[in-house]
Amino acid sequence: MEYRRIGRTGLRVSELCLGAMYFGGDTDEKTAFEILDRFVEAGGNFIDTANRYNDGESESLLGRWLKNRDRDRMVVATKVFGRMHDHPNGLGLSRKHIVSAVEDSLRRLDTDYIDLYYTHVFSRDTPLEETLSTLDTLVTAGKVRYLGASNLAGWQLQKAVDLSTHHGWNRYVALQPLYNLLDRDIEWDSVEVCLAEGLGVMPWSPLRAGWLSGRFTRGMQAPPESARVRQSSDVPFDMSWEQYNTAHTWQVLDALEAVAAETGRSVPQVATRWLIQKPGVTAPIIGPRTLAHAESSLGAAGWTLSAEQMSTLDAASAKPKPYPFNLLEFYAANPG
- Catalytic machinery residues: 53
The CA angle 215-221-227, to the nearest 5 degrees, is 40
- CB distance 252 to 181 below 8 Å: yes
C-alpha angle 121-124-126 in degrees, rounded to nearest 5? 100
CA distance 124 to 128: 8
The span from the CA of 290 to the CA of 33, in Å, is 11
Nearest Cα neighbor of 153 from 182, 111, 124, 130 is 124
Q: Is 198 exposed, middle or buried (0-12, 13-18, 19+ CB in 10 A)?
A: middle
Residue 5 CA to residue 213 CA, distance in Å, equals 28
Listed residue (64, 145, 75) closest to 110, CA to CA: 64
Cα distances (Å, whole numbers) of residue 299 to 257, 274, 285, 302, 303: 16, 13, 14, 8, 9
Q: Are strands 114-119 and 200-201 parallel, antiparallel or unpaired?
A: unpaired
C-alpha span between 83 and 99 (Å, rounded): 14
- Residue 172's DSSP bridge partners are 147
Decide if 175 contacts 157 (C-beta within 8 A): yes
